[in-house]
Amino acid sequence: MFHYQIGSLEEEPPVLARRLAERGLTRVAVVHDRSPVGARYAECFENARVGLGLETTGSVAIAPLAQDAGSAVAGLRDAKPDALAYFGLGVTSRAVALALADLEWPVPVVANSALMFGYAQRDWRDGWAGWEYLDGVADDNAVRRRLAERSKRAAAGPIGCAAFDMGRLLGEAVARADHLTREGVKDGLEQVKQLPATSGHDGTTMGFGVYDHAALKGRYLVLREWKAGKTVQVAG
């Protein structure tokens, strides 16, 4: 199996933990899905925050399809954290946003790449206003800008950029394959190196190896936030 990383359970939490530390938000409450994905995110965040001097004031798991997170969020507020971290598949991010609004609790929030749901769920965006989250596209990526000249729709979000990159990876693999069989294409993929990526910050590359089947190399996770109904890259 070859992997194009639209997010990462292991790599996203350390990025968010470092961002919280940069902002001086050291007391963090965590809400995550009660699922293998949510639990792994929370575990990796716990590992990352220790070395950065962050304190977890509380942690709560909610059902991955929960529509009401009011009591869970209210319980986290009692410890007076500096920030809230959300980790999950995305559906519950809407419930958490509604709970924060109902409680009138303007706590800073960071979230994993689940907030890319906003590209499809336009009516969810305002609830995430000010939340910093991880995305797959950056405004400074020259390859993405060239794609936009050909197709603004494809370059507008992470799925279009990823699809374009996957096609390029396969094209490069076929060009390198000695024979067009499953084994031949696998060998071809393992020879693709240093291909500039459409996703991530400028300078992100793609490639594989015999023991490395993850495509993206470099700063492929991008901090963004939803603001006035649009996704905006976070400075810094």
pLDDT digits (tens, 9 = 90+) for 19-70: 999 999 999 999 999 999 999 999 999 999 999 999 999 999 999 999 999 9
pLDDT of 220 higher than 70 = yes
Cα torsion angle, 18, 223, 83, 30, sign = negative
Judge if 115 and 85 occupy the same domain. Answer: yes
- Residue 43 belongs to a domain: yes
pTM recorded for the entire structure: 0.93
pLDDT digits (tens, 9 = 90+) for 152-164: 999 999 999 999 9
Residue 7: pLDDT band with limits 50, 70, 90? confident
- Residue 7 belongs to a domain: no
DSSP 56-122: EEEEEEE-TT-S--HHHHHHHHTT--SEEEEESSSHHHHHHHHHHHHHT----EEE-GGGGGGGT-G
- Residue 34 belongs to a domain: yes
Judge if 120 and 174 occupy the same domain. Answer: no
Judge if 40 and 123 occupy the same domain. Answer: yes
Maximal CA-CA distance, the chain = 63
pLDDT digits (tens, 9 = 90+) for 99-152: 999 999 999 999 999 999 999 999 999 999 999 999 999 999 999 999 999 999
- The neighbour count for residue 93, using CB atoms within 10 Å, is 28
We report the CATH number of the domain holding residue 43 as: 3.40.50.2300
How many structural domains is the chain composed of?
A: 2
Considering the chain, what is the average pLDDT of its residues? 96
Q: Which domain holds residue 50?
A: 12-136+221-233
In the chain, the percentage of residues whose pLDDT exceeds 70 is: 100
- Residue 1 belongs to a domain: no
Judge if 165 and 212 occupy the same domain. Answer: yes
Judge if 128 and 183 occupy the same domain. Answer: no
- Residue 3 belongs to a domain: no
Judge if 172 and 82 occupy the same domain. Answer: no
201 within 8 A of 15, measured Cβ to Cβ: no
pLDDT of 236 higher than 70 = no
Q: Which helix (H) or strand (E) holds 29?
A: strand 27-33
User: Which pLDDT score is estimated for 223?
Assistant: 97
Q: What is the pLDDT averaged over residues 161-190?
A: 96
- Residue 115 belongs to a domain: yes
Judge if 127 and 173 occupy the same domain. Answer: no
Rounded-to-integer distance, Cα 98 and Cα 150, Å:
38
Judge if 192 and 76 occupy the same domain. Answer: no
- The neighbour count for residue 106, using CB atoms within 10 Å, is 9
105 Cβ neighbours under 8 A, 6+ residues apart: 73, 77
Q: Name the nearest CA neighbour of 158 among 135, 186, 128.
A: 135
- Residue 151 belongs to a domain: yes
200 within 8 A of 216, measured Cβ to Cβ: yes
Judge if 117 and 158 occupy the same domain. Answer: no
- Residue 116 belongs to a domain: yes
Hey, what are 131's tokens?
């939340």
User: Which pLDDT score is estimated for 235?
Assistant: 85
Judge if 207 and 94 occupy the same domain. Answer: no
Judge if 40 and 125 occupy the same domain. Answer: yes
52 within 8 A of 18, measured Cβ to Cβ: yes
Judge if 161 and 70 occupy the same domain. Answer: no
